[in-house]
Structure 1
C-alpha cells in the first residue's frame, strides 16, 4: 500500500510539473525532492547535491558533448551536397532509384552524428530539393526520410546509447558495437520498402535517370571519401580497442574541424555556431540526467522500483511477454516525451525488471533504441515529424501518414531482434574493445 501511495504522489507531482511547462530536468528534480521529503529522513538538499555532482561528473559522459560537437561541425559544412553527388550514381540503378539516397545518406551520416534530428536536417536539405526536381512522389520522399533519419539513434555513435549506458553503468563501446548490425538491417528494411513501392506502383515512377559510365561513377564517388575516412577513424578506433568512446569522439571533433577547413566551410562564425549548438544540446541532456539521477535515488529510498519489479515478477511473464509489454509502454510514453527523457525517467524501474527476467542489458539497449526510434515518428510528439514540418511546410497529419509504413517496419525490427538476439549481441561478445569510457 505504501508503494502505491508513493507511486500516486510521484506521478501527480510529475504530471503537474510537466503540465506547467517546467523543464524536464527541473521536473524530475522536483518530483525527487518531494519524494525525499515525504518518504525518507535524509536531508533532501544534501542528497540532491551529492547525487547531481556524481551523475554529472561521469567520465563516460564526456563522450556525449564531443560527439554532438562533431555532428554540429559537419552539419555546417558542404557535406550534404557532396554526399548526394557521391551516392546518386550508385543509387540510380536500384529499383526505386534515388529515393535510396535518403536511406544511404541517413545511414552514413548517422555514423558521425548520433542524433536523428541532425541526421534529418543534414540529409533532408540534400535530398528533398533534388528528389522533388526529378519528379519523385512527395509521399515517398517525406516518408522514407522520416523513417531513415531515426537511424541516427541506432548507428554508432548514438547519443541515446551513451545516455542509456551511463544510466545503467554499462560499456558505451559495447553498446555502440551492438547497434551496428541492427542499424544496417533496419536500413535494409527501409530499402526493401522502396523496392516494393517501385514494383507495386509503376505509374508513380519518375523518368529514368540518364546512364552514367562506370568511370564517371567512380569519379563522383570521391566526394564520399572524406566522410568515410572520418567514420573509419572514429568507429574503427573504438572497435579495434585503440580508443575509448571519449577518445574517439575527441579525434572525431578534430577530424571534423580539419574536414570543414579543407572544404572552406570553417570560419569563426561557423565555429562559434557549432560550439554553441553543441553546448546547448549537451547542457540540456546533462540537466535531464542530473534530475534522473536524483529521482532514481529518491525512488530507491521508497522501494518503488523493487516493488514494481516484484509485482511484474509475480505475474510470471516470460521474457518475450515482458518485452511486448515494455514495447507498448515505451510507444505510449514516446508519444508525449522525447527519447532521452523516456530512457532516464524509466530506467530506475525497468532495469531491475529486465535483469530479473534474465534479459541481456546490451540487447535491451538496442531494443529500447528501436522503440524510441518508432516514437520519433508517431504523433502527437513525434520530434522528427515537427522537424520535417519545418523543412517541407506540410501539415503534421500528412507527414505522420507518410511515416506509417516506416513505423510498421520498425515494429517488425523489434520482432526480428526478439527472434535473432545475436544481431545485437554477437559483435560486443566477439570483438576486442577498449575501456568503456
Structure 2
C-alpha cells in the first residue's frame, strides 16, 4: 500500500510540477495506478467515468452561474454598488475600507467566483480608496480576503462541484453557506473596526473629503443597489421557496443579469459574445477537471487506496478534532499548488472515506472544505486572488500576502467556531428540511 501511495503522489506531483494541465495530470495518474497496480482494463473505466461525469443535470447549473458572473463582471454593477455604499460607510470605524468587504459580499452573492469578485470590486474600490488616502495594505487585505466569499456565499460554483461529486443536495449546500458567509463578513468588519479604533482612523484625507449627504439623499443614492438585491432575491428566493431547482434558478439569474446589464447601458453584441465565450472556456475547463477527477477517484477505489488509508488513519486513534487539524494542514499545503476546484475534486477522490468514518456531516464538511479553499486563494504560490490584485496594483506577492495574513487567521478562527458550534452550518439546512 505504501508503495502505491508514494507512486500515486509522486506521479501527480511530477505531472503538476511539470506544467501539465490539471485534468491531464489527474487522468495520467489514474491511468498509471490502474495499469501497474490493478488487473482492470483501463480504457472502459476511463470512458465510463468521462460519460458519467458529463451528463449530470445538477452540473448544468455550473455554466449558467459562470455566465451570469461574466455578464455581471461587465455590467457596471460594481460602480453603482460603490456609489450606493460610500455615503453610509463614511461614519463607521474604518470608513470606506468596509466597501471592499460589503461590496465583495454583495457581489459574491450573485457571482459565485472568487477571482471575478476580486477583479470586479477591486477595479472600482482600489483606485478610489487610494485617491482618498487610505492605507494601501488594508485596502488590499480586505479586498483579497473578502472576495473569497464568492466561493462560500451562494450561489457558489464550488458548492455545485462539491455537491455533484459527493451526491449532496446543492440547495442544502447553498443555504448552509449563508450563516458562515455572514460570520466571515462580521469577523472581517469587526477586525477592521477594532484596527481603526486601536491604531487610529485612516491617515491622510481618508474619509474627510466626502460630501455631506442628508438621510433622504442617502436613501435615493441607495436605489442603485435595487437591481443587485433583486437579482439576489430572485435567485435565492426561487431556490429556497421551492419554485426552482438550482439549475433553473441559474437560468433565471442569467436572464436577470442580461436585463441589468442592458439597463446599465453595458450590454452590446460584443459584450454578449465576450461574456459567452469566457463562460464557455471556464465551464469546459471545470468540466474537464471534474471528468479527470472522477477517473482518478475510480482508480483509487479499484486499488483500495481510500479504504486502506481510512483504516490507517482510524488505527491512529485520532479524535475528530485532531483529524480536522491534520486535514486542514494537509489541505492548506495542497492549496499552495492547486486551484480550488482541483483541490475539492482531489480531496473528494481520496479522503471522503476517512471523513465519513470519522462521522462528519458531509454538508458541514463541504462548507469547511470551501473555507479552506478560500484560504488557499490568498496563499502563495498559487493564490489566484493574489495574482488578480498584483495585476490591479503592481505590488509584489510578498507584500500582498502580508496584507492578507490577519484575514487568513480570521478564517482559521471561523473554522474553530464552526467545529465548536456546528449549528452555524447546519441550522438553516435542518430548518429547510423541517419546513
Aligned to 1:431, what secondary structure does the other structure show? helix
Q: Which residue matches 2:2? A: 4
Q: Which residue matches 1:33? A: 31
Q: Which residue matches 2:169? A: 171
Contact 2:96-2:207 at 8 Å conserved across structures:
no
Q: Which residue matches 1:82? A: 80
Aligned to 2:168, what secondary structure does the other structure show? coil
> Any stretches of 5+ residues in structure 2 without a counterpart?
none
Determine if the alignment matches structure 1 residue 64 to structure 2 residue 62: yes
In the TM superposition, what whole-angstrom CA distance separates every residue of 1:324-375 from its partner, at most 9, and x where no partner exists?
1111111111111111111101212221111111110000111111111111
Aligned to 1:233, what secondary structure does the other structure show? helix
Q: CA deviation at 1:12?
A: 2.1
Q: Which residue matches 1:183? A: 181
Compared CA separation, residues 197 and 359, structure 1 to 2 (3 A): same
Determine if the alignment matches structure 1 residue 138 to structure 2 residue 136: yes
Q: Aligned equivalents of 2:128 and 2:200: distance in 1?
A: 20
2:193 maps to which of 192, 195, 217: 195
Q: CA deviation at 1:45?
A: 1.0
Q: Aligned equivalents of 1:392 and 1:154: distance in 2?
A: 25
Q: Aligned equivalents of 1:128 and 1:104: distance in 2?
A: 14
Contact 2:188-2:407 at 8 Å conserved across structures:
yes
In the TM superposition, what whole-angstrom CA distance separates every residue of 1:194-218 from its partner, at most 9, and x where no partner exists?
1012112226332433432100000
Determine if the alignment matches structure 1 residue 403 to structure 2 residue 404: yes
Determine if the alignment matches structure 1 residue 388 to structure 2 residue 389: yes
Matches within 5 A, 1:338-377: 338-377=339-378
Contact 2:115-2:385 at 8 Å conserved across structures:
yes
> Any stretches of 5+ residues in structure 1 without a counterpart?
none
Compared CA separation, residues 100 and 433, structure 1 to 2 (3 A): farther
In the TM superposition, what whole-angstrom CA distance separates every residue of 1:382-411 from its partner, at most 9, and x where no partner exists?
111111000000111111111111111111
Contact 1:165-1:171 at 8 Å conserved across structures:
yes
TM-score normalised by L of structure 1: 0.97
The number of equivalent residue pairs is 432
Greater shift in the superposed pair: 376-385 or 111-120: 376-385
Aligned to 2:428, what secondary structure does the other structure show? helix
Q: Which residue matches 2:244? A: 243
In the TM superposition, what whole-angstrom CA distance separates every residue of 1:144-186 from its partner, at most 9, and x where no partner exists?
1111011001000111111111111111110001000000010
**RMSD (Å) for aligned C-alpha atoms:** 1.3
In the TM superposition, what whole-angstrom CA distance separates every residue of 1:91-135 from its partner, at most 9, and x where no partner exists?
112111111110000000001111100100111011111111111
Q: Aligned equivalents of 2:85 and 2:185: distance in 1?
A: 15
Compared CA separation, residues 144 and 16, structure 1 to 2 (3 A): same
TM-score normalised by L of structure 2: 0.97
Q: Aligned equivalents of 1:281 and 1:348: distance in 2?
A: 22
Q: Which residue matches 1:109? A: 107
Q: Aligned equivalents of 2:358 and 2:21: distance in 1?
A: 34
4+ residue stretches of structure 1 with deviation over 2 A? 39-42, 203-211
Q: Aligned equivalents of 1:371 and 1:14: distance in 2?
A: 21
In the TM superposition, what whole-angstrom CA distance separates every residue of 1:290-329 from its partner, at most 9, and x where no partner exists?
0000001111010000000001111121111111111111
Q: Which residue matches 1:23? A: 21
Contact 2:94-2:201 at 8 Å conserved across structures:
no
Q: Aligned equivalents of 2:332 and 2:406: distance in 1?
A: 16
Contact 2:141-2:400 at 8 Å conserved across structures:
yes
Contact 2:93-2:201 at 8 Å conserved across structures:
no
In the TM superposition, what whole-angstrom CA distance separates every residue of 1:55-85 from its partner, at most 9, and x where no partner exists?
1111111111100000000100111110111
Contact 1:241-1:433 at 8 Å conserved across structures:
no
Q: Aligned equivalents of 1:189 and 1:124: distance in 2?
A: 20
